[in-house]
A and B are shown apart, each in its own frame.
Chain A
Amino acid sequence: MRAALRAALITTALSALASCANAPAAPEQVAPAREPFAWELPPVVAAEKPIVDAARLHRATLANGLQVLVLEDRRLPEFSAGLVALRGAALEGSSELGLASFTAALMERGAGERDAFALAAAAEDLGADIGVSSDWDTLRASTSGLSRDFDALFELLADVVLRPRFAAADAKRAVAEQRAALAQAKDDPAALAGQHLMRALYGEHRFGSPAGGVDATVARFTAADARAFHARVVTPAGAILWATGDLDAAAFIARASLTFGAWRGAELAAAPPAPPVPAKRRVVIVDRPELGQAQIAIGHEGIARTDARRLEAQLFNTAFGNGGFSARLMARIRAAEGLTYGIGSQFSQRRAPGPFAITTFTRVPEVGKLLASTFEELERLLTDPPAGEELERARRLRTGGFPLALETSPAVLAALLDLDVYGLPRDTLDTYRARMREISEAEIAAAARDLIHPERASIVVVGPADALREQLAKYGEVEVAAP
C-alpha cells in the first residue's frame, strides 16, 4: 500500500511537471525522481505450481488394509521409508503412562534373527539409520540410507515392525534409560514448564502427564507390556507404509505386498476420549531457586487437528505469536521491550483437542512485566483481531512460505502422511493457499473469540518462588510445586 502511494505521488509530480513544462519550475518543490527501491515495488506474484507432482505420487491399499504411499524422487541416490501406526501415547491407560515410548524403544532393540547389537550393526554397516518413535497419536518405525542398500534396509524395517524380539534383558535396560531420561528432563526449565502447564490444564486425563510417562508407571514396565501394546497398535488395519526417494513406486508396492501382504493384526483401536475443558485458571510456580531466568508457559484448551476452524486459528496465530519476528508477541516483547530472546504461541493439534500455549522466558525481576504485556496482547486478539494489512501480511507469510516448507520430497511426504493420519482431505496441499486467501476478517475475529480465553489461561513459571510470588499474585492464588 505504501509503495503504491509513493508511486502515485511520483506520477503526480511528474505529470504536474509535464503540464506546466513552459513555466519555470521551482526546483525545491519537486524532488528529483529516483528509481524506486525494490521494497517499494508491489510484491512479485508468481504463478502457483502444484505442491505434489501427481506423476511421482503413488498409493495402494493391500488386501489386509495396509495403506501404501510412495513419492518418487530420483535426484539423489538416497531414500527413506517407514511405517506409521495410527495410535500412540493418547491410548495409554493410567497405569500405562509412557508405554508407547517404551514399546518404540524396545522395538529398536532386536528383531527377527538379530539381537539388539546385531540389528544396530546391520544398519550402521550401511551408514544408515533405523529407529522407532512415538507421539500422542502414532507409533512410527523408519529407516533411511542410500538407495543401493534399499533391499537390506527394507528387510530390517519389516523385522522391526513385524518381528520385534522384546527380550527381557533389553526391557530392563530400556526401563532404566526411560527413567533416566525422565529425570534428566527436569534439568531443562522449558520442559519442566511445559509439563506443569499440562498438569494444570488436564490433571488426570492422559494429556496431563508427559508423553514419555512418569517414573512410577515406567518403573514397572516389562517386555510383556511392550509386546501387548505392539499387538494392540501395530496392525495393518491402522497403518500406513511409506517411502520416498530414489526408488520405483511400482516395485516398492510389489515389494510391500510380498513382505507385508500376509500380515494380520488387531482391529484399529477406538480413539481415546477427549480431555475435559479446564474450568478455571491456575497459577503455578515450579520452585528452582538458582535460576536467574524464569521459564514461562501460559495456556488453555485448544483444538483438534481436524477442527473446522484450524485454518482460521493458524492465520490469527500467525499474526499473534507464530509468524516469525513479525508476530505481535515478538514485535512487542522481544523487539520493543527487550524482555526476551524468544516468545511464541502454538495450537498443539492432536486427534483430540490439545492445548493452546504461549512459551517464553525472561530475567526473574521482569516476569510481572512480561506477563502484563503478554496478557494485554492476548486480550487485544479479542478487542483488535488481526485485520487489514496485518492480516494480509499473515496470509502472505503462510501462502508464500508454504512451498518453501515443502521444498524437499521428505517434507511433502510427511505432510501427505499427516493428512492421512488424521483423515483430512488428500488434496489439502493443493487447496491450502486458495483457502487461506478466502478467510475473511469476520471469520478471523469469530475464531479468535471462540478459541482465545485470557480469563482462564493458566500460568506456570519455573524459577525462584521467593522472587516470583508477588509478581504473580494478581493472576490468582499462587501454588508452589517442586520440580
Chain B
Amino acid sequence: MHVRTIAQGLFIAAVVSVVGVASPAVAAAEGEFADPALRTKITTLTNGLTLLTLEDHATPTVSLQVWVRVGSGDESRFTGIAHLFEHMNFLSSKNLAPLGAEAYTRLVEERGGRINAYTSRDVTVYFEDVASEHLPLMIALEGERFANLLVTEQALKAERQVVIEERRLRSENDPEGLAFETLMALTYQAHPYRIPTVGWISDLEKVTAADCQAFWETYYAANNLVIAIAGDFDTDATVALVEKHFGGLRRAATIPRNPQEEPAQDGERRAVAHYPVQAPIVLAGFAAPATGHPDSDALDIAAGVLANGRTSRLYREMVFDAPLALEPQAFYWELQRAGLFMAGATLRPGVDVAKAERVLFAEIARLADEPPSPEELRRAKRTLEVSWIRGQGSAHALASRVAQDYVAFGRIEPLAEKLAAIERVTAEDVQRVVREYLAPNKRNVVHVFPQAEQEGRP
C-alpha cells in the first residue's frame, strides 16, 4: 500500500515537472519526491550510439560516463584483455600524442576533475566527474580516444606490468580476493564468468598490441556504446556536442558474444586454497538468475534475512551466540548474463572452518524449511527500499544508475517500479528461492586456510 502511494506520487511529480511547476518543498512535505531518473532523455545517433542525458542543476557539477558493452565475459583467447584494454585506452591517441604521455588524465585533473574507469564481467566504463563548464572538453576527449586511440607495443609493455601488479594486489596477496576468484571458477564451469576479470598472469604476458587492436575493432563500435551524462548542463547543446564527437564512429555489423549456457549442477563442489592467514575463510556460491529475473528481489531479501545487520540470522549464530566470525555476509550478485548468490565469512583466528561451515549451511537450510518472520521480511524490505531512495545525491550516482538500467534493461526502470517489486515479495517467495537456488546439491564451497592446519586434519 505504501509503495502504491509513492508510485502515484512519482507519477504526478513526473508529469508536473514537465510543465515546470514542480514544487520539491510540497512534494517533500507530503512525504513524496520526484524520481530524478525519470527525466532522462534518450537519444539514439544514426550510428547506433545511445545517449542518456539527465539535466539537473542542483550543483554545478556533471558526470560523463561512457559504458561499453564488453567485459571479461566476452573474452575468448586471452583472459584479462577487456581490462588490460581499459588501461590502454588512457595512454595515447592520434591528436593527443603531441601533448605527451598521460595527456587525458592530465587535462582532466588540471581542471580539478576526477577521471577513471573500471571493467566488470559485462561492461567497461570510463568516466569523468567535473565542474559543469568543462563538460564540452570531456566530450571532445572521450570522442578523441574512442575514434583515434593509438595501440603500440611500447605502451602495452609498461601497462601490462601495471595490470599484473593490480592482479597481485587484488587476488594473489588478498585472501578474500583469492577465495572469490576460486569460487567463481568452481561455480561456473562453462559460463565465461568463471574467468577473473583481471585475467591470469600467463595470459596477460602474451597479449600483443595487435590483439588489443583487434579487440577494439570488435567491441568498441558506436552501437556497443551507451553514454550517460547527468548534472548541470544544457541538453540540446550537449546532444549536439556528442553527435559532433561521436557521430563519426563506425557501427559494427555484428558484435560477437560468447555462449552463456551453464550446465545444471547436481552435486556439491569443493575447493581449498592454502594461504598463511590468521583468519580462515569459508565462502559458498550458488548459480543464480541474471539481472531482471522475477526472483531477483526475493534473492536480495533472502540475503538480507541471512546477513544484513545485527538482527540477521548469520550474525546471531556466528557472531552473537558463538564467536565464529566477525561479519558474516550474504549477497546476491546480479550480472547481465547470470547471477551468483554468495554466503560466507572471514572467521576468527583458530576457528575450525568445517564447524563454521556447518552453522552457515544450517541457517540456509532453516530458511528453506521455514519462511522468514514478518519482522525479518519487513526489515529486509525496508533496508533495500531505503538504499534505493538514498545515495542519489551526486551527479555520478545518477549517471551510473541510468546507464546501469539502460544497459541491463534497455530502459530506465522507475524507482517506483523497483520499490513495488520489493514490496510484492512474500515470505513464501523467499522460502521458495532459497529451496530452488540454494539447495545443498547446487552449492560450491571454498575454504582458505594455511597449509599446516590441513595436515593435522583427520
Q: A-side interface residues toward B, CB under 8 Å? A: 2, 37-39, 41, 43-46, 49, 74-78, 116-117, 120-121, 123-128, 144-148, 173, 176-177, 180-181, 183-184, 186-189, 246, 288, 290-293, 295, 323-326, 331, 334-342, 361-363, 392-393, 396-404, 407-410
CB distance from B142 to the nearest CB of A (A): 11
In the assembled complex, B132 has its CB within 8 A of some CB on chain A: yes
User: Which chain A residue shows the least CB distance to B310?
Assistant: A120
Bitwise interface map of B from 148 to 177 toward A, beta carbon under 8 Å scored 1, else 0: 000000000111111111101100111100
CB distance from A275 to the nearest CB of B (A): 29
Chain B residues whose CB sits within 8 angstroms of the CB of A183 once the complex forms: 278-279, 348-349
What separation, in Å, do the CA atoms of A43 and B311 have in the docked complex? Answer: 53
Q: Are B137 and A400 in contact (CB under 8 A)?
A: no
What separation, in Å, do the CA atoms of A195 and B130 have in the docked complex? Answer: 36
Among B110, B163, B173, B389, the residue within 8 A (CB) of A397 is B110
Chain B residues whose CB sits within 8 angstroms of the CB of A75 once the complex forms: 24, 33, 58, 393
What separation, in Å, do the CA atoms of A148 and B279 have in the docked complex? Answer: 41
Q: Are A341 and B134 in contact (CB under 8 A)?
A: no
Q: Are A399 and B390 in contact (CB under 8 A)?
A: no
Q: Are B173 and A77 in contact (CB under 8 A)?
A: no
Q: A38-B141, A187-B279, A324-B109 are in contact. Are A362 and B326 (CB under 8 A)?
A: no
Chain A residues whose CB sits within 8 angstroms of the CB of B395 once the complex forms: 407
Q: Are B277 and A187 in contact (CB under 8 A)?
A: yes
Q: Are A39 and B110 in contact (CB under 8 A)?
A: no
Q: Are B279 and A339 in contact (CB under 8 A)?
A: no
CB distance from B156 to the nearest CB of A (A): 10
What separation, in Å, do the CA atoms of A46 and B130 have in the docked complex? Answer: 12
Q: Are B58 and A293 in contact (CB under 8 A)?
A: no
Q: Are B61 and A338 in contact (CB under 8 A)?
A: no
Q: Are A338 and B158 in contact (CB under 8 A)?
A: yes
In the assembled complex, B59 has its CB within 8 A of some CB on chain A: yes
Q: Are A404 and B112 in contact (CB under 8 A)?
A: yes
Among B133, B158, B173, B311, the residue within 8 A (CB) of A336 is B158
Q: A37-B95, A76-B392, A124-B311 are in contact. Are A400 and B113 (CB under 8 A)?
A: yes
Chain B residues whose CB sits within 8 angstroms of the CB of A46 once the complex forms: 60, 131-133
Bitwise interface map of B from 43 to 63 toward A, beta carbon under 8 Å scored 1, else 0: 000000000000000111100
Q: Are B111 and A408 in contact (CB under 8 A)?
A: no
CB distance from A435 to the nearest CB of B (A): 16
Bitwise interface map of B from 385 to 418 toward A, beta carbon under 8 Å scored 1, else 0: 1110110111100000000000000000000000
Among A124, A176, A188, A361, the residue within 8 A (CB) of B165 is A361
What separation, in Å, do the CA atoms of A74 and B27 have in the docked complex? Answer: 10
User: Given known contacts A76-B389, A125-B375, A401-B114, what 13 new A-B pairs fall within 8 Å (CB)?
Assistant: A39-B137, A127-B379, A127-B385, A144-B390, A291-B173, A326-B109, A338-B162, A342-B169, A361-B165, A392-B110, A397-B110, A401-B112, A407-B394
In the assembled complex, B276 has its CB within 8 A of some CB on chain A: yes
Q: B-side interface residues toward A, CB under 8 Å? A: 24-25, 28, 31-33, 58-61, 90, 95-96, 99, 101-103, 105-107, 109-115, 129-134, 136-137, 139-141, 144, 157-166, 168-169, 172-175, 275-279, 308-311, 319-320, 323, 326, 346, 348-349, 375, 378-379, 381-387, 389-390, 392-395
Q: Are B109 and A184 in contact (CB under 8 A)?
A: no
Q: Are B112 and A180 in contact (CB under 8 A)?
A: no
What 10 A-B pairs have minimum CB-CB distances, sorted nearest first? A400-B112, A127-B382, A401-B112, A127-B386, A38-B140, A338-B158, A338-B161, A120-B310, A325-B105, A293-B168
Q: Are B393 and A334 in contact (CB under 8 A)?
A: no
Q: Are A177 and B60 in contact (CB under 8 A)?
A: no
Q: A184-B346, A290-B276, A324-B115 are in contact. Are A408 and B393 (CB under 8 A)?
A: yes
What separation, in Å, do the CA atoms of A188 and B166 have in the docked complex? Answer: 15
Q: Are B165 and A362 in contact (CB under 8 A)?
A: yes
CB distance from B255 to the nearest CB of A (A): 29
Among A39, A128, A335, A342, the residue within 8 A (CB) of B101 is A335
Q: Are A126 and B390 in contact (CB under 8 A)?
A: no
CB distance from B157 to the nearest CB of A (A): 7
What separation, in Å, do the CA atoms of A183 and B278 have in the docked complex? Answer: 6
Chain B residues whose CB sits within 8 angstroms of the CB of A393 once the complex forms: 106, 109-110
Q: Are A326 and B106 in contact (CB under 8 A)?
A: yes
Q: Are B169 and A325 in contact (CB under 8 A)?
A: no
A-B contact pairs, 20 of them (CB 8 A): A39-B99, A39-B137, A43-B110, A44-B133, A74-B25, A124-B309, A124-B383, A125-B378, A127-B383, A177-B323, A180-B348, A181-B326, A290-B276, A293-B169, A324-B109, A325-B106, A335-B162, A396-B110, A402-B112, A407-B395
